[in-house]
Homo-oligomer: A and B are copies of this chain.
Amino acid sequence: MTRSKKEVIQVAAARLFRDRGYTATSMRDLAEAVQLKASSLYNHISGKEEILKEICFETAERFLSAMEEIEKEKVSCTEKVKKLIQLHIQTATSDVTSITAFNDEWRHLSEPHLSEFKSIRKTYEERFKSIIQEGIETEEIQEGDPTVILYTIISSVRWLYDWYKPERNVSPEILKKGIVNILVTGIVK
């Protein structure tokens, strides 16, 4: 199974979008990255936005299906929250590029994709928030605004996408332990 040319283009695009941003990446930049002329890209993709759209939706679907798995598990809410934090770290470290599109570049989508994307994202966040809320009700989790807790968790791993590089020799496992520890038990002794 070799990668289709379309996949090669998508991977290169995800990297360029991360490095320069969607708007600042031209189709000529992208063409050069995959050793093609700009016009030849259009034999594989229908346009610039289609690439962004597919990156955003693929990442969103991945988060949503992981959420489904975690919801099904018969573990405490705290355990579920831990797994969700690990999921975000895993995604950010294993797929450094498309996570950017998912975090930052989706706003360049045009309608109807923009609304559809926001709605999927909203669904994911609501389900995450429900787990937090349940944890507060069962008194596993400290009293607090679930929205504040939710976004603080989601944001807290956002630095990884431009910090994490395999050359640093910091394994995702060490990161998971460290970050989960901060968020779950705090930084003070």
Could you tell me which A residues sit within 8 Å of B by CB distance? 20-21, 23-24, 78, 81, 104, 107-108, 139-142, 144-145, 148-149, 151-159, 163, 170, 174-175, 178-179, 181-189
- On chain B, the residues within 8 Å of A151 by CB distance are 159, 163
In the complex the two chains form, what is the Cα distance from A22 to B179 in whole Å? 31
Known: A185-B186, A186-B184, A188-B78. A152 touches B142 (CB 8 A): no
Is the pair A182, B183 in contact by a Cβ cutoff of 8 Å?
A: yes
- On chain B, the residues within 8 Å of A142 by CB distance are 181, 185-189
Given contacts A142-B188, A155-B158, could you give 13 more A-B pairs where the C-beta distance is less than 8 Å?
Answer: A24-B108, A78-B187, A78-B188, A140-B189, A142-B181, A142-B187, A144-B178, A145-B178, A149-B178, A158-B158, A183-B183, A184-B186, A186-B186
- On chain B, the residues within 8 Å of A145 by CB distance are 170, 174, 178
- On chain B, the residues within 8 Å of A78 by CB distance are 187-188
In the complex the two chains form, what is the Cα distance from A148 to B104 in whole Å? 22
- On chain B, the residues within 8 Å of A140 by CB distance are 188-189
CB distance from A21 to the nearest CB of B (A): 6
Q: A189 is contacted by which of B81, B104, B139 (Cβ under 8 Å)?
A: B139
